[in-house]
Amino acid sequence: MSIVTLDKLTKFYERGQVPAADAVSLEVRHGEFMVLLGPSGCGKTTTLRMIAGLEPISSGTLSIDGRVVNNVPAKDRDIAMVFQSYALYPHMSVADNLAFGLKRRSVERAEIARRVAAVADTLGLAGLLDRKPHALSGGQRQRVALGRAIVRDPKVFLFDEPLSNLDASLRVSTRGEIGKLHRRLGATMIYVTHDQVEAMTLGQRICIMNGGRIVQVGAPLEVYKRPANTFVASFLGNPPMNLLPARVRKANGPLLVELGQHSLELAAPRYPALTAGSEVTLGIRPENIATAANAAQGGRFASIEAEIVQIEALGAESIVSARIPGVASELLARLGPDPDAALGERRALLLDRHAIHLFDAAGVRLARHDAVA
């Protein structure tokens, strides 16, 4: 079993007033692919480095398979780390780079040769073993860095933004290789990134961090569809969730919410905490907005009138920006390749009532009662 448990893990840097990681508590299950996701400075890399033993822990407990490792040196934690920079030895061949860690651990030559050959075959490096890093492409160098970690057969793999230095096409292909690798090895992996696409496609669970704290942990679609607060709602999604200021007009019976000059009825779900006059933030993702031409009619949709101020035609889809009378923020809608909208026209946009979220004044998502949230 390779279970990593963080219990109120905290890190203060010298003379720091605010912790870089603040009471981080998380359990990474055996064989799980956990992604730490968040903006720069949110504490995700600091947390990873504490797990690796590269940063001393200010307070809290770190356990691997039930063994507290706070004071265990990095070399004795049986963890392999893949960095953003490839960190390959330039004077060594691919084979020697792959074998270096095993040689330092005095592994027998025959076993080293077996492991290096197996990893090279798995990662498509068999024909490159005699090359030096300068003769490799960026994607090949990253595969060597991955192979150097795999060949050790550690308890836990740690990835610190390993794809950041690759171009767009290589990021996609290497991301796929990492996903296949996890499925093949079944190993415990913790992966740090600021890229939500990497998080959504690789992670079995995502731990979203902000300001040194954990904001939400869950399966990718769970955190996407049910964000805990406005930060998660705005961080996940491209374009992100629309977050619009609104006011509760009627809380008893069908819920009526004022959005600019419109009143929207949110009939099915009930929000016991809301009263008439409550200030809320209404959230809806761009893909949950349609026009009459590309939406089924019926009670599922609430109609609002808005002015089309921008259309971005992307081929397979169009991103439409619209201005709602009385609302400062523009509304973004993800429509099909034929958006059925023209720049400057005023037209009806349909909001899926079932996909509308409400957040309180503190930005926390309000739980619905007697409804699937």
Is there a contact between 276 and 253 (Cβ–Cβ < 8 Å)? no
Cis geometry, peptide bond prior to residue 239 (ω within 30 degrees of 0): yes
Q: Mean pLDDT per segment of 10 residues, for the chain of length 373 residues?
A: 92 85 96 96 95 95 95 91 85 93 88 91 89 89 87 90 82 85 90 94 96 97 96 94 93 84 76 84 94 65 91 90 93 87 88 91 80 44
Task: State the pLDDT at residue 342.
Answer: 85
- Report how far residue 133's alpha carbon sits from residue 125's, in angstroms, rounded to the nearest whole number: 12
Query: Which one-letter DSSP state was computed for residue 18?
Result: S
- Residue 368 token pair: 């619905």
Q: Which long-range contacts (CB under 8 A, 24 or more apart) does 103-112 make?
A: 105/152
Is there a contact between 99 and 39 (Cβ–Cβ < 8 Å)? no
| DSSP helix/strand/coil, 9 | strand
Task: State the pLDDT at residue 298.
Answer: 59
pTM of the predicted structure, to 2 decimals = 0.88
Is there a contact between 90 and 134 (Cβ–Cβ < 8 Å)? yes
Is there a contact between 48 and 77 (Cβ–Cβ < 8 Å)? no
| Closest residue by Cα to residue 188 from 151, 155, 147, 219 | 155
Is there a contact between 152 and 101 (Cβ–Cβ < 8 Å)? yes
Burial class (CB in 10 A: 0-12, 13-18, 19+), 304: buried
> How many C-beta neighbours within 10 Å does residue 248 have?
19
- Residue 312 token pair: 């971005």
Domains and CATH numbers, the chain: 4-234 (3.40.50.300), 235-359 (2.40.50.140)
Task: State the pLDDT at residue 229.
Answer: 97
Task: State the pLDDT at residue 35.
Answer: 97
Task: State the pLDDT at residue 372.
Answer: 43
Burial class (CB in 10 A: 0-12, 13-18, 19+), 188: buried
- Report how far residue 165's alpha carbon sits from residue 179's, in angstroms, rounded to the nearest whole number: 18
Task: State the pLDDT at residue 353.
Answer: 87
With residue 113 as reference, give the H or E element that holds it. Answer: helix 109-122
